[in-house]
Chain A
Amino acid sequence: MTGFRTPNFRGWQVVVLHREDAGMHRLARQLERFGVTCHFAWPRLESLDPAVKAVFFDGDSGFDGLFPWPSGQPPVPLIALMRSEAPGRLEWVLAQGISSHLIKPVQSTGVYSALVLASHSFDQAQQQQARIEALKTRLRLRPEVIRAVLTVMRLDALDEDKAFACIRAAAMERRLTVEAFCATADEASLRALLPRRRRGGGLGRA
């Protein structure tokens, strides 16, 4: 078992996008106990201060245009405050890209786990998104790899496994992905990878 580090929100600032009422004051009070400062806003958040680490919002009365960012692309974890469980409301809340939710009326139990789950799933989603972007780029560059492998095979009559191994070694040496290396490599630079005696192409094989 590895150690799960105690989540710590000391010094965090969050926005609560909800009418201020007794329930929201309970929420703010509970957040204070984790070292979190609350800023209230309603009915619209004009801009998001870069210091804000999470946004709680009213899932019951929220509407399109509530947030100052493109729909469904929150830059910080979003936590929905919900009383209604009507599918239409849930659909709207899901479309905002929430990371967790909290049932109203807010009690002292639940706020901590909502914040822990939201920050964890937001980070995980960000990492996954970054990984997907990287994989998409590599996928887009696959034809470049094929071109490079074919070039090396032609230059040195290697089979495809050996040609690929030669390219991968060169990419690793340059700390690039195989795809990124192939995208920039022309025939001359691929030729430079081959042993000196083979570079002429006319010297024959050992």
Chain B
Amino acid sequence: MTPQSRPDRRDGFGAFSFWGMALAPAEIPLGILYSVTGTYSLIGRACLDGARLGLEEVNSDPRYPFRFRPEIEDPGANIDHYLAFSEAMLRERGCRHIIGTITSIGRKEVIPVIEKYDALLWYMCPYEGFECCENVIYSGACPNQHIVPLFRYLLPRYGKRVYLVGSNYIWGWETNRTARELVQASGGEVVGERYLAFSSQDVARLIEDIRDQRPDFVLNNLVGTSSYAFLAAYHEAARGDASFAPENRPVVSCNLTEAELDSIGPAAEGLISTAIYFDSLDNPASRDFRRRVAARFGAGRRSSVYLVNSYIAVKLLAEAILACGSDEIEAVKAALFELALETPLGPTRIDSGTNHAALRPYIGRAEADGSFKVIEAVPPPIAADPYLVDFDARAFGAEVNRRSATQLRVVK
């Protein structure tokens, strides 16, 4: 059955097929759901800009016999808005695809609606894993692509006494739980674990507890303004207490990127973060992407994994639609799984078994100028393992301890 002969289920809305429609480019509504206001607005803006850039490129490229019509909504980091906005996109505006959500609570709020309308959510942020929904494409890093490589790098070099902080929701809780498992498997110790309410900037007690516990490093899973307040206070503490200096006791992260560094300022210097893309990567694909970003947003604009990955999500969707001739989700998914699209990340593949992207994690250190210096790269892309099925804590611990013997730095 071709897409043309399929009965039109929604009176033309979303039931697009361009085979045999050569006269005018078809218009495909595309939902874009990012919080560009609220506590993590900097991330939301990076995501939205990336999606816009991808959309503009598709719409101006004659190779695609269709145009995307953006349907943009801003839930403002308010969990009450996700359901209504996504439902309006799917029911009233004919969208079959939504690119969006940043936090896991946002994503989990949208998924039931996405399933109800049998649509596709393109989720491209790092997240805590343990999810695999048929109606979601996951192109951000999951734990075996972020916290595991980050701790494999850190534990042998900085030591195994770790302090965990996070915002009080699933990302912080679960990423810290995985971190605890990694630390314990290595024979290390979690010397403290504390959470702050969303948007809370009450970080003084955290700093004092870290001063008392003297961990080797601090994993920061706070988000947005809580994270900025914490980093500022930590930086301030280093003035009078050298143990807080980044070379002695770094703050590390799985989700802090260039999107936020400029606003954090000097307090971020020395922070160690893992991401599947850094703006400072030096290869033909990343150089090309930097040129596009500069042309669209100005020479001073630094991109980040958020910007690049939402851009890629739009390009992947466009390419899959081009390949299958429809925006119908089963056809799009089937076409998507066959693609190996050249993107700023290199050839990008989505695995049909998990709906997740294979990704290459990097580890970077924040520099004074707001960029990340890449200090470690895992050569081949790692297949996503959202349920940590192939993860072996004992083997991880053994590897950390083998490497500790040679790589532990001298503690000042």
- Closest B residue to A35 by beta carbon equals B389
Restricting to B362-412, which residues have a CB under 8 Å from any CB of A? Answer: 386-391, 393
Nearest-CB distance from B108 to chain A (Å)? 9
Q: Is the CB of A33 within 8 A of B387?
A: yes
A8: chain B residues at CB < 8 Å are 388-389, 391
Q: What is the CA–CA distance of A33 and B132 in the complex, to the nearest angstrom?
A: 8
- Closest B residue to A107 by beta carbon equals B115
- Closest A residue to B390 by beta carbon equals A10
- Show 10 residue pairs from A and B whose CB-CB distance is below 8 angstroms, ordered by the A residue: A1-B180, A3-B177, A3-B180, A3-B181, A8-B388, A8-B391, A30-B132, A33-B353, A108-B132, A108-B134
Q: Is the CB of B389 within 8 A of A5?
A: no
Q: Is the CB of B130 within 8 A of A26?
A: no
Q: What is the CA–CA distance of A3 and B386 in the complex, to the nearest angstrom?
A: 19
In the complex, B248 has a CB within 8 A of chain A: no
Per-residue interface assignment for chain B, residues 268 to 283, with 1 indicating a CB less than 8 Å from any chain A CB and 0 otherwise: 0000000000000000
| Partner of B391 from A3, A6, A26 at Cβ < 8 Å | A6
A-B contact count (CB 8 A): 46
Please give the residue numbers on chain A whose beta carbons come within 8 Å of chain B beta carbons, in ascending order: 1, 3-6, 8-10, 26, 30, 32-35, 107-109, 112
Nearest-CB distance from B215 to chain A (Å)? 16
B133: chain A residues at CB < 8 Å are 107-109
Q: Is the CB of A9 within 8 A of B177?
A: no
In the complex, B261 has a CB within 8 A of chain A: no
| Partner of B134 from A9, A26, A34 at Cβ < 8 Å | A26
Nearest-CB distance from A81 to chain B (Å)? 18
Q: Is the CB of A3 within 8 A of B111?
A: no
Given A33-B387, A34-B389, A109-B111, the answer on whether A6 and B131 have CB atoms closer than 8 Å is no
A112: chain B residues at CB < 8 Å are 130, 387
In the complex, B354 has a CB within 8 A of chain A: yes
B180: chain A residues at CB < 8 Å are 1, 3
Q: What is the CA–CA distance of A10 and B130 in the complex, to the nearest angstrom?
A: 14
B130: chain A residues at CB < 8 Å are 112
Nearest-CB distance from B397 to chain A (Å)? 12
Q: Is the CB of B131 within 8 A of A109?
A: yes
Q: Is the CB of A33 within 8 A of B134?
A: no
9 new A-B contacts at CB < 8 Å, known A33-B386, A33-B389: A3-B177, A3-B184, A4-B181, A8-B388, A35-B387, A35-B389, A108-B132, A108-B133, A109-B131
B389: chain A residues at CB < 8 Å are 8-10, 33-35
Nearest-CB distance from B17 to chain A (Å)? 24
- Closest B residue to A8 by beta carbon equals B389
A33: chain B residues at CB < 8 Å are 132, 353-354, 386-387, 389
- Closest A residue to B386 by beta carbon equals A33
Q: What is the CA–CA distance of A9 and B134 in the complex, to the nearest angstrom?
A: 20
Given A108-B132, A109-B111, the answer on whether A6 and B178 have CB atoms closer than 8 Å is yes
In the complex, B73 has a CB within 8 A of chain A: no
Q: What is the CA–CA distance of A32 and B351 in the complex, to the nearest angstrom?
A: 14
Q: Report whether over half of chain A's contact residues are helix, strand or loop; otherwise say mixed.
A: loop
In the complex, B330 has a CB within 8 A of chain A: no
Nearest-CB distance from A21 to chain B (Å)? 16
Nearest-CB distance from B148 to chain A (Å)? 11
Interface centre among B131, B353, B387, by most chain A C-beta atoms within 10 angstroms, is B387
Nearest-CB distance from B113 to chain A (Å)? 13
Q: What is the CA–CA distance of A10 and B180 in the complex, to the nearest angstrom?
A: 21
Q: What is the CA–CA distance of A10 and B395 in the complex, to the nearest angstrom?
A: 15
Per-residue interface assignment for chain B, residues 88 to 114, with 1 indicating a CB less than 8 Å from any chain A CB and 0 otherwise: 000000000000000000000001000
- Closest A residue to B193 by beta carbon equals A1
Q: What is the CA–CA distance of A114 and B193 in the complex, to the nearest angstrom?
A: 29
- Closest A residue to B391 by beta carbon equals A6
Q: Is the CB of A34 within 8 A of B353?
A: no
- Closest B residue to A111 by beta carbon equals B132
**Minimum-distance CB pairs A-B, first 4:** A35-B389, A108-B133, A3-B184, A3-B180
Given A1-B193, A33-B387, A107-B115, the answer on whether A6 and B181 have CB atoms closer than 8 Å is yes
Nearest-CB distance from A110 to chain B (Å)? 11
- Closest A residue to B108 by beta carbon equals A109
Per-residue interface assignment for chain B, residues 285 to 298, with 1 indicating a CB less than 8 Å from any chain A CB and 0 otherwise: 00000000000000
Q: What is the CA–CA distance of A134 and B247 in the complex, to the nearest angstrom?
A: 57
Interface centre among B115, B388, B389, B391, by most chain A C-beta atoms within 10 angstroms, is B389
Q: Is the CB of A4 within 8 A of B177?
A: yes
Q: What is the CA–CA distance of A5 and B134 in the complex, to the nearest angstrom?
A: 26
Nearest-CB distance from B104 to chain A (Å)? 13
B132: chain A residues at CB < 8 Å are 30, 33, 108
Q: What is the CA–CA distance of A153 and B167 in the complex, to the nearest angstrom?
A: 65
Q: Is the CB of A5 within 8 A of B393?
A: yes
Q: What is the CA–CA distance of A33 and B193 in the complex, to the nearest angstrom?
A: 31
Q: What is the CA–CA distance of A33 and B353 in the complex, to the nearest angstrom?
A: 7
A109: chain B residues at CB < 8 Å are 111, 131, 133
Q: What is the CA–CA distance of A35 and B353 in the complex, to the nearest angstrom?
A: 11
Q: What is the CA–CA distance of A8 and B391 in the complex, to the nearest angstrom?
A: 9
Nearest-CB distance from A184 to chain B (Å)? 42
Q: What is the CA–CA distance of A1 and B190 in the complex, to the nearest angstrom?
A: 10
Q: What is the CA–CA distance of A112 and B386 in the complex, to the nearest angstrom?
A: 12
A10: chain B residues at CB < 8 Å are 389-390
B388: chain A residues at CB < 8 Å are 6, 8
